[in-house]
Amino acid sequence: MLIILTIMLIITSSQTSKINSLEEKLTGLTAENNQIKEYIKDNSIFTEFFNYPDILTLQLKGSKANPDRSGKIFIAGTNDEALLDLANIPALPDEEVYQVWAFIGDDTFSLGTFSPESGKRYYKLTNLPKFDIKRLKRIEITSESIPASFIPEGEVFYSSGG
């Protein structure tokens, strides 16, 4: 009887070890699958956006306080959408958002707001105000208190110059 119990204990221990190993592999595969889903989502947004015929691309540079930051904004002139490409954008306090500004002639327009998400690189802005893209002087991204501002008041994080 003792031999049977010992054999059963060995088998149970071996099975438990295999189950734990499989659970670890499953956890790793689930995390990898989620990363792949996010990659596909980001790239589908990117691919869909670049089917537009008239895209203006502007380089964004960090402010004087943070010159190492960089990014791009792609503006679809006739489709009232823009796509931001910002790697490693800093987190903001909960009561703030990033707001994107277009300086057109003597006017300033908000193109929208977004909150940074860890690991996210692309941010899509929709329902942009209609404006003459040829008169665009520069783009700025500022941090603003919620609710969003009507004029840029917060710290400038990125600018296209100009």
Half-sphere exposure of 101 (CA within 13 A, CB side): 27
pLDDT of residue 162: 61
Report pTM. 0.72
Q: What is the pLDDT along the chain (162 residues), one digit of tens a residue?
A: 667 767 766 777 777 777 778 788 878 878 888 878 877 776 777 777 777 778 889 999 988 877 888 999 999 877 688 999 997 788 899 999 999 999 998 899 999 999 988 888 889 999 888 888 888 899 999 999 987 778 899 999 999 976
d(CA 52, CA 43): 15
H or E element that contains 23: helix 2-49
Please state whether beta strands 136-145 and 122-126 pair in parallel, antiparallel, or not at all (unpaired): unpaired
7 phi and psi angles, rounded to 5 deg = -65, -45
* Side chain identity, residue 15: Q
pLDDT of residue 59: 95
Domain topology for 54-159: Immunoglobulin-like (2.60.40)
pLDDT of residue 90: 87
Asked if residues 121 and 133 have their Cβ atoms less than 8 Å apart, the reply is no
**Total residues belonging to the chain:** 162
Q: Which tokens belong to 65?
A: 């306080």
d(CA 161, CA 138): 6
